[in-house]
A and B are shown apart, each in its own frame.
Chain A
Amino acid sequence: MKKAIRLAMASILLAISTVACSSSPADNTAQPSQPAQPQSGEQAAGENTPQPGGILRFARNHDITSFDPIDSTANLAIWTLLNMFDQLVRLSPSGDGIEPGIATDWTISEDGKTYVFNLRDDVKFHNGAPLTAEDVKFSLDRARGDESNWNWMYPAIQSVEVTGEHQVTIKLNQPYQPLLSTLALASSSIVPKQVMEEKGKEYFANNPVGSGPFMLESWQRGQKIVLKKNPDYWQKGKPYLDGVEFLQVPEDTAKIFMLQAKELDISSNVPFSSLPQLEADPSLQVLVAPFARLDMIPINTEREPFNNVKIRQAMNYAINKEEIINAVLMGHGEVATSYLPKVMYYNDQLEGYPYNPEKAKQLMAESSRPNGFKATLTINAGSDINSQTAVIIKEQLKEIGIELEIQQLEPGVVDEMHSSKKYDLITTYYSSDIIDPDEITMFGAAPSGGTGAYYTGYQNEELDKLAYAAQQEQDETKRKEMYFELQRMFSEDAPFIFLYHMPNSYVLQKNVHGFQVSNMGSYRLEDVWLSK
């Protein structure tokens, strides 16, 4: 057994190996170290002391569907639940490491198959009951059980045992390096066993009981989620806010007007084109936060002529991603070369497919369709970013003889067509919920993973084997090499048209302090405070 220094080691290692910290020139409004404090030099030193009180009004595009941590896989649900529940470990505020949560420290056995966690003894659920080792076992068993929509994230766990009054031991079938990252997921949230067993899942989904900084006060479906401060939160002195209101405001104009009329404190998903105008407003601040997300166009490799790798590569070379980023994202974003978003072991050496129409034409000439062909690009209706991107792509693919027909459909329908492989080309994205590259590798790249290489029908046995081997590799250097190789292989086979990494945009009132968005898109609202 190695000693608990592993804890510090782990976070340092993760921090070093994460490459996500580099921000593009366009992102100069946000530095990962202190993202939510854009250059408002006027702040006096005395104003940096957090002030308690106030309700934070926070606009987002959608409501969530359930408060049961094992239900929803939607980002907004995850980011909400992380403010209401605790996990054994958690993501650091900037999202580049793992730090203690309910577990104060942990040890990992030499063979990497046994994890022992020591728990805090001062944590209470929102109903006043103490959080016990039994609750931890119950919650993790539930998260990897049949009724969980997240069970695929816990493949290696053999058992979770209560081994002491404040101790839990997780035994694995085989070494599984993403484990700590996975335990920081919202689905790994600790729920009270007694409440869940007595009241049932459906009750809990509407009346959650967690131990996190905020608890549910009321929920008006499709309108707002009202959270209030947990006065017994184990981090003494936090949260600073008395409560949070998550308002559903899908309309861009409404968001912008509400910000200007001071009816909101924070709004997410503000269109990039409106940021300069809002930044000029002396009472508002803009935050463009890097986000582990990849926007891409999956190519249906089961259809002719997309089974031909030269055609897939040609399309990648033919598209000028810089131009799309400048024209559509107003410069906020980075060209993508890998299937991985910017998480741990992101391959920054990868050249990818820089814009090269000559090379694209040459590849087309060598391909199975030298004279070009017609295809359909399916996009989300109502997404300006999607439709503008599609127009540029249509023009650029025309240059190499590919005639695109753009088909606009509702978001839900687009997802369905994607997952049932009823498409040629389709605009979509994914984002990572953990800092470990394993989630996205299994979800988006490994052919035998959950989505069959994101519903492209992509096949590559070698890549598949390497992906599973990388899960188990305990040597960090070797593991990193494996992921670099995985990304190189996938990039070369090009089952996607790799587009860009798009950041998250937030606009805040100037009196909002301490709002920081992690690389995984989550935010810890217990650190947020409002100055008068």
Chain B
Amino acid sequence: MAQQVRKVIAIGRLQYLVKHLMQLVPVLLGISVITFFLIRMIPGDPAHILLGPRATPEAVQQLTERMGLDQPVLTQYLIYMKNLFQGELGHSIIIQQPVSTLIFERLDVTVFLVLYTTVLSVLISVPVAMWSAVKKDGLLDNGFRAASIVGLSMPSFWVGILLMLFLSIKVKLFPVSGYGSTFAEHLRHLFLPALTISFSLAPVLIRPLRTKIISILASEFVEAARARGIRESKVLLKHVLRNAMLGTVTILGVNVGWLLGGSVVVETVFSIPGLGQLLINSILTRDYPVIQGLVLVFAALVIIVNLLTDILYTILDPRVKLGG
């Protein structure tokens, strides 16, 4: 019987997943249209930028033709869409490489950074929120609240520079750049970058988590648990935390786009060879196909993570059903 119920739930999840993955198509299509035309509206011509100030008009013209940018924008768009439907993101016009290769080579770095940041933020947020809720309006609670505001309002490049100054230069604990080549090295190299983003992400997580914990602490089932003589630490971990985490998962899911945006800045500050750095370089050189490809990948990542969040939700809380 239980077996069957589980099976039904699993099918439900699968259907949900397929259905929402289908919805990806029109969303990504819309994004591709907007990006395509938007980046061509900013002034600056890739052939000119690539050839530099010494270029003769003929050389610029030749290169423009070689890049295929002499054709009408609409024709260019149709070529782009045709490639896209064949699963190709096109070729970089500056670097003679397929866009998919360029992105794929750097994807792991950015994904690693985003996951690392998430883990770090949760590790910071949960104990702080718990403490603040339990010792509500205490000295530390107020202290954390003030620190949250500071963390939220400091720009991440500034936080990054400060962290580098103190933890890499004054105390030589962490490297200031790069990614390393082994897993342990990744952890070490990306610690400061991840911490930098966590500085602004953690406050976003702490506040709702604290509120949630406070309300759960006052609820009847917690009182019941306590009345049954369960130890306070067990009450907090098993009854309070599990329920409070649900909201955090949602907030994390919602913030993935923002997290990716933050990684663009932080990758530049810490010279990390990820997608963010590629994006900045491509914008500066007006490498249209790479910008288009990256925006699509970023968009797809955000949508997929949101989808996974919904599914994770049902696992954390069996009462939640994925709506039709």
Contact = CB atoms under 8 A, between A and B. Distances in A.
B44 A416 contact: yes
Interface stretch (A166-174, A253-261, A392-400): A253-261
A450 interface: yes
Interface string B44-74: 1100111111111101000000000000000
Interface stretch (B23-31, B147-155, B161-169): B161-169
Contacts of A220: 105, 273
Nearest to A74: B52
Contact of A443 (B54, B268, B271, B273): B54
Q: Which 7 A-B pairs have the closest CB atoms?
A: A412-B49, A413-B44, A257-B176, A416-B48, A223-B273, A73-B54, A415-B53
Nearest to B281: A222
B177 A254 contact: yes
Interface core residue of A149, A221, A450 (most chain B CB under 10 Å): A221
B175 A221 contact: no
A257 B45 contact: no
Contact of B49 (A222, A263, A416, A418): A416
A206 interface: yes
B284 A412 contact: yes
B45 A416 contact: yes
A521 B49 CA distance: 22
B269 A221 contact: no
A122 B236 CA distance: 79
Contacts of B271: 247-249, 251, 254, 258
A258 B53 CA distance: 31
A202 interface: yes
A491 B168 CA distance: 50
A64 B97 CA distance: 15
B55 A419 contact: yes
Interface in A201-245: 202, 205-206, 220-223
20 contacts: A63-B281, A65-B94, A73-B52, A73-B55, A149-B54, A202-B96, A220-B105, A221-B97, A222-B95, A251-B268, A251-B271, A253-B164, A254-B176, A257-B169, A261-B169, A263-B178, A412-B48, A413-B43, A416-B49, A419-B55
Given A254-B270, A263-B176, A263-B178, A205 B96 contact: yes
B277 interface: yes
A419 B53 contact: yes
Contact of A263 (B55, B56, B175, B281): B175
A484 interface: no
Given A257-B168, A258-B271, 14 more contacts: A73-B54, A152-B56, A251-B268, A251-B271, A257-B161, A257-B177, A261-B175, A263-B178, A410-B44, A411-B49, A411-B284, A413-B44, A416-B44, A416-B49
B109 to A, nearest CB: 10
B7 to A, nearest CB: 48
Interface in B10-46: 43-45
A221 B52 CA distance: 19
A63 B54 CA distance: 18
Contact of A450 (B44, B45, B56, B175): B56
A415 B55 CA distance: 10
Contact of B172 (A72, A205, A251, A261): A261
A443 B56 CA distance: 11
A413 B165 CA distance: 34
A263 B177 contact: yes
Contacts of B54: 73, 149, 443, 450-451
B51 A73 contact: yes
B286 interface: yes
B168 A221 contact: no
Interface in A159-192: none
A409 interface: yes
B190 interface: no
A222 B277 contact: yes
B126 interface: no
B102 interface: yes
B52 A410 contact: no
Nearest to B164: A257
B278 interface: yes
B243 interface: no
Nearest to A203: B96
A457 to B, nearest CB: 14
Nearest to A430: B53
Interface core residue of A416, A428, A430 (most chain B CB under 10 Å): A416
A91 B277 CA distance: 36
Given A206-B96, A410-B44, A251 B53 contact: no
A185 B277 CA distance: 32
Contacts of A419: 48, 53, 55, 57
Given A220-B273, A251-B271, A65 B50 contact: yes
Nearest to A250: B268
B106 to A, nearest CB: 9
B285 interface: yes
Given A415-B48, A416-B44, A450-B56, A249 B269 contact: no
Interface in B256-273: 268-271, 273
A261 B286 contact: no
A272 B181 CA distance: 34
A413 B56 CA distance: 16
Interface core residue of A202, A410, A430 (most chain B CB under 10 Å): A410
Contacts of B102: 221
Contacts of B172: 261
Interface core residue of A251, A263, A412 (most chain B CB under 10 Å): A412
B145 to A, nearest CB: 30
A426 to B, nearest CB: 11
Contact of A412 (B56, B96, B269, B285): B285
Interface string A49-81: 000000000000001010000001110000000
Given A258-B271, A428-B53, A450-B56, A221 B286 contact: no
Contacts of B177: 249, 254, 257-258, 263
Interface in A376-435: 409-413, 415-416, 418-419, 428, 430
A511 B1 CA distance: 74
A303 B273 CA distance: 45
Nearest to A219: B95
A415 B52 contact: yes
Nearest to B59: A149
A253 B161 contact: yes
A250 B97 CA distance: 22
B147 to A, nearest CB: 24
B96 A257 contact: no
Nearest to B160: A253
Contacts of A152: 56
A221 B95 contact: yes
A290 to B, nearest CB: 22
Interface string A116-132: 00000000000000000
Contacts of A72: 52
Contacts of A202: 96
A161 to B, nearest CB: 28
A8 to B, nearest CB: 33
B165 A257 contact: yes
Contacts of B286: 412
A418 B102 CA distance: 32
A74 B55 CA distance: 11
Contacts of A205: 96
Contacts of B43: 409, 413, 416
Contacts of A206: 96
A73 B44 CA distance: 19
B284 A410 contact: yes
A56 B128 CA distance: 45
Interface string A441-476: 001000000110000000000000000000000000
